[in-house]
Structures are given as C-alpha cells and as structure tokens.
Amino acid sequence: MKVYFRADASVVIGNGHIMRCLTLAQELRKRGAVCHFVTRAHQGHRADLIAQMGFELSLLSLPDGPAPASPPDHAAWAGVSWEQDLAESRAVIAESDWLVVDHYAFDARWQKGLSNCVGRIMVIDDLADRPHAAALLLDQNFGREAKDYEGLVPDNCRILTGPRFALLRPEFAAQRERSLTRRQTPQTAHLMVTMGGTDAIDATSQVLRALKDADLAEALRISVVMGSRAPALERVRALAAEMPWPTEVLVDVREMAALMTDADLAIGAGGSTTWERCCLGLPTIIVETATNQAGAVVAMEDAGAALGTGPFFASDFRERLIAALGRLISPDVNARISRASANLCAGNGAEFVAQVLEEPAWA
C-alpha cells in the first residue's frame, strides 16, 4: 500500500498535525505500507523530523507573501492560495492507495483536485467547519459526533469520531499501566506545564506568572516542556529561574510518555496532547489556547475528565487557573479526574485507523 500525507507544521500551526500523521505513518509502515510526506517549508516546519524518521519527503517552497484571504477560516495557514498549493502538491503526488490530508486550510475544492490521482482521500479534522471530498474522516475530539459532519462530507463517507481513535505514539500505550498504577495513590509533588511545542502565543509565560500567586506546597517541583523553535523559549527560561519552586525547562523532549507518567498533575493546552494525558490518566487543567478547542474542553469538564480555565485571553484567566489548581491538588479530585480521563483513551487509536485503511472493502 502506498500512502501520501499532506500536512504542515509552523510557528503558527504548531507541530500537532505533523506528529499525529507521523504516528499513523509509523503504524502503516509496520504493516508494510510505503508512506510519503508532502509539507511546506514554513518557519518551524518539521521536514527534518520526517526525514530523520525515514519517510519519503517532498518539501514545497517557502511562501513568498501572505496567503490570499479566502474561505475556509484557516486558509492563511497554507501560506499560499489553495490553487497554488494544489498545483504544487499534484506535481509531487503520484498514484497511490490513500492520500491523508491533515490541514485546516484545505477543503473539498483542494481535495477534489487530487481525487483522480489517488485511490481514496482520508481527512483528519477537528473543526467540522468546511466541506470535504473524503472517503474517510477522522475527528478524534471528545464530544464530536458523526452528525456534526452532515452536509460537509459525501453520503458514503465513513466517519470515525472520539479519543478512542486518537493517533498517539506507541510509547503512551506502553506506559499506560505503569502510569495508572502509580495514580492509585494520588500525589501532587510534580507539576508539568506543556502549552505546545511552539506556543506562539507564549501561554507558558502567563501560566508561570500565575503560578507565583498560587498556594502550593514548598516541596513542589515544576517541569516545563517546550520545543527548541518556540519564540518565547528564552523568556520562559528566565521566568523559570525566578520561580519559588524548582522549575526546569525541558526542550525537545523525546520521552514524553515517561515524563507524563512521572508527573502528578498538569497544566496543558487543549490540543492533541490532551489525549496523551488522558491515556496516562494524568490529571490536567486544560487551557483553551484557541477558540476551536472550547467544545472539547467543555465536554471533558462535563465528563469529569479535566478542569478548564476558559479562554486563555479572558481577563480573568489568571484567577481561573489558580482556582482550578486549588481544586486539582485535592487528592479526591485528582483521583477522580485521573480515572475519568483514562477511560477516554487507551492509546491504540493508530492501530484502529490503520486497520480501517487496510480493509478489503476499500479495494
């Protein structure tokens, strides 16, 4: 089986789309598939990581100007018009069994332009805000239902929804038993802060400033996780050095599952790392760093699987964060959230999705 992936990473987009595509590609490669990535050379692209992991790669040129303003809402993330991206993508995408598209900037117009040179198209989405020309669609967010895509996909499109299908690296499933076992005795000595690899809005600094006003144990230690390309990395390092508790800034962490397993509680952005934390039962305060995260965060709160702060840019964000942290350090609340979140995701979603792509019915 031959599979192409079209996804980007950048300072604005973050790394999540590329990372979950890499997870699915690894699972497919284990099953004998040949995977080829098509990605654009935005500032903060991850072509280096794709190549390092041994996948075929086509790197589209760096945009030379702002993308035209047009629908869909995230069209500017492409860096070029959808027509230009389609033409450049068509030039490198050959006949294949599947094309996996994980990009908010593209809709059915772009997808239809490639439908005659690939067997089928799979879309990975989180927004349910635009039409798709897909045979298979994955939305791994909690609270999402197939009906949310009514009128946005063909009638015969197969839709997979929910964290059961979350595309997590195998290391999370491997650490799950150990992590859940240690949480049977709740602790609050190690706080993990992870606001995304690039954290373009510098939420990390705001979180650290808020923590200074929180009533936390003297024995607390804090681990802050960031990417080496994060614009605010040096600012965060300076803030970490001023914290009342030992605070380390960990850059480009390779053993994220092990670090999460050793953490007792977390403050994290509402992106794809949400499902990593759920797999390991890590009690978390979720910060809404983007408007499209609100629905999933509310659903998580309603299910007792996390605490939320509301929008990051709200005027009372600091107060909401401190209040949530005061609740999370309660052993009863900590244990309850751990159990509820662990029930949402077991970490084997990539296996489920790969099996679907391999089904004989598609042949």
Q: What is the pLDDT of residues 294-313, one digit of tens each?
A: 888 999 999 999 999 999 99
Instruction: Determine the average pLDDT of the residues in 59-79.
Output: 88
Indicate the pLDDT class of residue 274, thresholds 50, 70 and 90: very high
Alpha-carbon distance of 269 to 306, in angstroms, equals: 12
Tell how far CA 144 is from the center of its chain. Answer: 15
- The answer to whether residues 85 and 232 belong to one domain is no
- The answer to whether residues 239 and 296 belong to one domain is yes
Alpha helices in 122-247 (DSSP H): 170-182, 203-211, 233-241
Question: 113-157: per-residue pLDDT in tens?
Answer: 999 999 999 999 999 999 999 999 999 999 999 999 999 999 999
- The answer to whether residues 265 and 175 belong to one domain is yes
3-state class of 106 per DSSP? coil
pLDDT of residue 67: 76
What are the helix and strand counts (H, E) for the chain? 13, 13
pLDDT of residue 65: 78
- The answer to whether residues 163 and 234 belong to one domain is no
- The answer to whether residues 208 and 337 belong to one domain is yes
- The answer to whether residues 327 and 250 belong to one domain is yes
Instruction: Determine the average pLDDT of the residues in 84-108.
Output: 97
Instruction: Determine the average pLDDT of the residues in 260-287.
Output: 96
CB atoms within 10 A of CB 215: 8
Q: Provide the pairing of β-strand 307-311 with 284-288.
A: parallel
Alpha-carbon distance of 101 to 209, in angstroms, equals: 38
- The answer to whether residues 101 and 243 belong to one domain is no
Angle subtended at Cα 273 by Cα 268 and Cα 41, rounded to the nearest 5 degrees: 110
Q: Provide the pairing of β-strand 96-102 with 190-194.
A: unpaired
Q: Is the pTM of this model over 0.85?
A: yes
pLDDT of residue 229: 87
- The answer to whether residues 202 and 240 belong to one domain is yes
Indicate the pLDDT class of residue 68, thresholds 50, 70 and 90: confident
DSSP state of 67: P
DSSP state of 65: S
CATH of the domain at 77: 3.40.50.11190
Which residues are within 8 A (CB) of 210 and not within 5 positions of it... i.e. 6 or more apart?
A: 317, 318, 321, 322
Domain hosting residue 147, numbered range: 2-168+347-362
- The answer to whether residues 27 and 98 belong to one domain is yes
Tell which phi-psi region holds residue 44, choosing left (phi > 0), alpha (psi between -120 and 50) or beta. Answer: left
pLDDT of residue 144: 94
pLDDT of residue 253: 94
pLDDT of residue 171: 96
Give just the sign of the alpha carbon dihedral 104, 107, 110, 114.
positive
- The answer to whether residues 58 and 159 belong to one domain is yes
The mean of the pLDDT values for the chain is: 95
Total number of domains constituting the chain: 2
- The answer to whether residues 194 and 332 belong to one domain is yes
pLDDT greater than 80 at residue 206: yes
pLDDT of residue 64: 84
- The answer to whether residues 253 and 293 belong to one domain is yes
Indicate the pLDDT class of residue 272, thresholds 50, 70 and 90: confident
CATH of the domain at 187: 3.40.50.2000
pLDDT of residue 3: 98
pLDDT of residue 363: 61
